[in-house]
Structure 1
């Protein structure tokens, strides 16, 4: 038996709390996912002796075992698996992820599905280096191409991008958003700056839904609001747009006005990165 001290009242369903605010289909997906991960675990995963394998009618762990180890009530956890509309805190989800031994991809899926920020997500002040295979991909392209991380900081670019975006790279600012809104050079370099800057703000807002509780994300937005009246105006419009690409025009200091078609890719194994490719037009 697990000690009774595993029980906590913080997540007990009888305590008033807000609901998940998730669509029914999404709640059913969550329940099915948790059940599948629970049934994939053996009692040994939570320290049960070998004898615990016997006399089990269903595979894997029981709901009450997952609830106990996670410090949750069995009723609350049962209702989550049943897809009921109840409260889900990020802390409770983190404990479930630990108990169910979720791998990084599964853990990310859990928090994406529930629209919560992972408390264990690393907060990086400096952009992490893009994985080697992504950087190698850049070197194979003749068109300008670069990578952005989750805070839209350049993590790598090829030679063609270094030439095209010389005003950006020469500014010493890795973050695309800071360059666009806080550097006067951007207003000369980006043709029709106001329209493009408004679009950039709307695209970034679409990105923030996955990292709403990320302190670095909140800090960046606060910095932009304090440093740029235009960003504050555009941000307060609450416009949301996908990063769909399209025509891009720049006033290059050496080449004059140049036109490109932008295409953005999300690497399957690195969803926090974007590869942006500019096709000459």
Structure 2
């Protein structure tokens, strides 16, 4: 069982910390409150004053002390081993993306994470996009498009055509053209915010990333709401529909590729449905 830090005693909790300990606690609490007793095989019991599981129940599922678990949720600077974090991830039934986000917040390596081998050169990735016959583009760590082909420019009006801001998040949340182009905008925008939360955790405190998030929160009520939800999701493939100003309703299947050792870059390809 993981114990509190050496400065703490059961009667004297360590002081409240700021980020990243506070961010870790908020994330864990949000996912505890979403999990029902039935989902983990516990009886519902009497009426609950708080949503989801109780802290004591999660501590029991993780095999840690309720005091330690409470302190970590409160954002206090307690030690958290990879093994304890892994048990929290299992107890809270976190997805793969959510689990990766948990370990990044705690600045720990997931013991279940496999090592990656080999590294693609960014130059080859940038050249590859021009060889694809379908709409394709490359995003950097802030999700700015740094390369795209003619097919992508033709599809993404107001973003990859002409002289526009190349950031995908600003296009989605702040551009009226993007709002019109993307079918089922609210669902897609909510998913995009969750994907960026997962993708950006490794460099969340870098100035460009922090500035982008702060600016979007200030400028877009929708982004602020979705970001505050603490949702985390992997960048998924699947069907994407667009209401194109010239071609009308069109649909694609989206695929995202990440080069090994350069997960801050991604190649996105859209294959049109026949």
Aligned to 2:217: 225
Q: Is the 8 A contact 2:217 2:223 kept in 1?
A: yes
Matched length: 173
Are residues 231 and 113 of structure 1, via their aligned partners in 2, closer, same or farther at CA, if it must alter by over 3 Å? closer
Q: Distance in 2 between matches of 1:228 and 1:174?
A: 17
The answer to whether the 8 Å contact 1:249/1:258 transfers is yes
| Residue deviations 1:26-49 (CA, integer Å, cap 9, x gap) | 89xxxxxxxxxxxxxxxxxxxxxx
Partner in structure 1 of residue 231 of structure 2: 239
The answer for the alignment partner of 1:211 in structure 2 is: 203
- Equivalent of 1:263, from 249, 255, 273? 255
2 CA distance for matches of 1:14 and 1:198?
41
Matching of residue 201 in structure 1 with residue 193 in structure 2: yes
CA drift at 1:252: 1.0
Query: Any idea what the Cα deviations from partners look like across 1:165-214, whole Å, max 9, x if unmatched?
Result: 13322361111001111111111111111111111111111112212221
1:138 aligns with 2:129: yes
How far is 1:114 from its partner?
Answer: 6.5
> What does 1:173-188 correspond to in 2, within 5 Å?
173-188=165-180
Is the Cα–Cα contact under 8 Å of residues 264 and 277 in structure 1 kept in the other structure?
Answer: yes
Q: For the Cα contact (< 8 Å) 1:115–1:210, is it kept in 2?
A: no
SS in 1 for 2:158: helix
Q: Give me the whole-angstrom Cα distance separating, in 1, the residues matched to 2:180 and 2:105.
A: 41
The CA deviation at 1:19 is 4.0
Partner of 1:274: 266
Cα separation, 2, equivalents of 1:113 and 1:213: 11
Unaligned runs of 5+ in 1: 1-12, 28-110, 117-129
Residue 20 of structure 1 deviates from its aligned partner by 4.4
Instruction: Check conservation: 1:26, 1:113, Cα contact below 8 A.
Output: no
Q: Deviations over 1:113-163 (max 9, x none)?
A: 9728xxxxxxxxxxxxx9321121112111111000110000101121111
**3-state SS, counterpart of residue 166 of structure 1:** coil
Aligned with 1:168 (options 159, 168, 189): 159
Structure 1 residues 249, 14: CA separation in 2 closer, same or farther (over 3 Å shift)?
closer
Partner of 2:184: 192
- 1:85-123 deviation per Cα after TM superposition (whole angstroms, max 9, x unaligned): xxxxxxxxxxxxxxxxxxxxxxxxxx969728xxxxxxx
Distance between the aligned counterparts of 2:222 and 2:163, measured in 1?
20
* Alpha carbons of structure 1 residues 190 and 265: separation in structure 2 relative to 1, 3 Å: same
Match of 1:21 among 64, 70, 80: 80
For the 8 Å contact 2:104–2:201, the answer to whether it is kept is no
Q: Which residue of 1 aligns with 2:107?
A: 115
- What root-mean-square deviation, in Å, do the aligned CA atoms of Structure 1 and Structure 2 show? 2.5
Distance 2:266 2:235 in 1: 10
Gaps of 5+ in 2: 9-13, 15-76, 87-102, 109-120
Alignment TM-score, normalising by the size of structure 1: 0.56
SS at match of 2:188: helix
Deviates more, 1:225-234 or 1:159-168: 159-168
